[in-house]
């Protein structure tokens, strides 16, 4: 029986947006978090209809991750802070936790992580995301390929990915 269900949405900004991989500026992440807080997003309605709690956890929105085409997206300290935020958000009495994320440019690191962990290259994993035109899709693929090349020596270790 699922008596206590919670939806956790983690929000963060991605440094790779500097490569023009999104149709929207990273400031929209903050606006979306405000929309979640005001109950105006689709996830609010889905959680309400499902009878679940919803928590939105903003992860240092003023400080995006590093641009993974240039530097590691996160250092050890940032990684531990993100994992700690996730750990703290989940309480023992929950029967089910549903995880979500939000952040402008989020599909670019998601595709890069998928390509790094499962193979198949950037093109296989990369979609347009919201509102991205043909040129934006090329920028996304190029950014992911650059990141995979730059961090090639770390790709064998899932924790480094």
Span 64-77, pLDDT tens digits: 999 999 999 999 99
72 phi/psi in degrees, rounded to 5: -60, 140
Neighbours of 117 (CB within 10 A): 11
Closest C-alpha to 109, from 69, 79, 80: 69
DSSP 6: E
Task: Name the fold adopted by 5-154.
Answer: Rossmann fold (3.40.50)
Give the span between the Cα atoms of 113 and 126, in whole angstroms: 11
pLDDT in tens, 102-152: 999 999 999 999 999 999 999 999 998 889 999 999 999 999 999 999 999
Domain range annotation of the chain: 5-154
């Amino acid at each position: 029986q699922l008596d206590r269900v919670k939806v956790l949405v983690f929000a963060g900004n991605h440094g790779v947006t500097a490569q023009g991989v999104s149709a929207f500026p990273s400031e929209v992440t903050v606006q979306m978090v405000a929309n979640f807080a005001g109950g105006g997003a689709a996830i609010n309605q889905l959680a309400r209809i499902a009878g679940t709690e919803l928590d939105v956890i903003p992860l240092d929105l003023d400080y995006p991750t590093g641009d993974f085409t240039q530097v590691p997206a996160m250092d050890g300290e940032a990684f531990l802070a993100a994992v700690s935020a996730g750990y703290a958000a989940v309480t023992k009495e929950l029967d089910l936790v549903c995880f979500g994320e939000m952040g402008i440019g989020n599909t670019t690191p998601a595709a890069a992580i998928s390509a790094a962990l499962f193979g198949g290259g950037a093109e296989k994993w990369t979609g347009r995301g919201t509102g991205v035109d043909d040129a934006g899709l090329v920028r996304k693929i190029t950014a992911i390929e650059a990141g995979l090349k730059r961090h090639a020596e770390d790709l064998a270790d899932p924790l480094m990915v």
